[in-house]
Copies of this chain bind each other. A is one copy, B any other.
């Protein structure tokens, strides 16, 4: 087992990474009183809910809640079901919520924990690669609004993140690819060595070689933990983690959070950010080709969905959380392994890119 620390002073917490961790007593150690609520979804419940419950051993009160599966349920309405379950079972301010699932479950349970009685403990047990390498670490929690993704939320750090790599055995292929989009992101924004390692090992990762997956998760979480420790509430460099996300969120919102997985939208969005960086003359077209090859090798789309228009992108991107006082800010590449957050780019270049990429 590897243990990483997210260094945030009094809010610091461990990330445990290893095989079969859900069968150990790690969760129990981080429940501070006698109550817990495990929240999961219909896909994960039959696979791992009993195991998670058993791992809490002697705890006096362990309740469970099973939500529908899918980004389209990451709403205030579903959040209310979590509050209903907490209140119906009389959970007090010392309770612990446990998010057992992918990014949707983790984001919602985290926001429920941030808001229930103005803040209770929660633990992340991510069951998708995407949640393991990205969304479970760093305390960003949220639900979606019909007009925009993650528009309603809070910064609320978990007490621990438990990454059992065994659960990836049951992960559908599309979900594996979606997670790899965020893995590639770390290489692109700040870790050129890791990016080269991914180019060498992508085929093995797609074949789910356990040692390679463990290495990719560890290096991704280490990058994430470093960025979060430096900038918990995204006043500065944390925004680099959003490479491809402004384009990606527009795709997700335009398609109603139904057709594309978040990671797939990020994959296509990263290609758009890379191409824009090249069109601005910041990276070479050869760099874009390299990124395209790795993205395809990870089984990810490299262009927006057919039928989506440049006008949809412009309208939805204007609502992005990175807009500051009317100026659109994007994460763009200066090199493979180096990104910047900037509003200093020619909007006409962006407009031409959107027209070009939406013509297919």
Residues of A within 8 A of B (CB): 33-35, 76, 79-80, 83-84, 87-88, 90, 92-94, 111, 114-119, 140, 142, 145, 147-148, 151-155, 233, 318-319, 321-326
Contacts and interface: CB of A to CB of B under 8 A. Distances in A.
A80 B87 contact: no
B147 A88 contact: yes
B154 A324 contact: no
Top 5 nearest A-B pairs (CB, nearest first) are: A87-B147, A92-B323, A117-B321, A118-B153, A33-B325
B119 A154 contact: yes
A60 to B, nearest CB: 9
Given A80-B76, A154-B154, A87 B118 contact: no
Nearest to A142: B118
A145 B83 contact: yes
18 contacts: A33-B324, A34-B326, A35-B325, A76-B80, A83-B151, A87-B148, A88-B147, A92-B323, A93-B322, A111-B115, A114-B154, A115-B153, A115-B154, A117-B151, A118-B153, A118-B155, A118-B321, A119-B155
Quick one: which of A83, A94, A152, A318 has the most chain B CB within 10 A?
Answer: A152
Contacts of A322: 93
A324 B79 CA distance: 24
A115 B145 CA distance: 12
Given A325-B92, A326-B34, A151 B87 contact: yes
A158 to B, nearest CB: 16
Given A93-B324, A116-B152, A118-B233, 12 more contacts: A35-B325, A76-B79, A76-B80, A84-B145, A87-B145, A87-B147, A87-B148, A92-B324, A94-B324, A118-B142, A118-B153, A154-B154
Contacts of A92: 321, 323-326
Contacts of A152: 83, 115-116
B93 A321 contact: yes
A213 B115 CA distance: 35
A324 B233 CA distance: 30
A117 to B, nearest CB: 5
Contacts of A115: 111, 115, 152-154
Contacts of A324: 33, 92-94
A322 B117 CA distance: 10
Contact of A34 (B114, B118, B325): B325
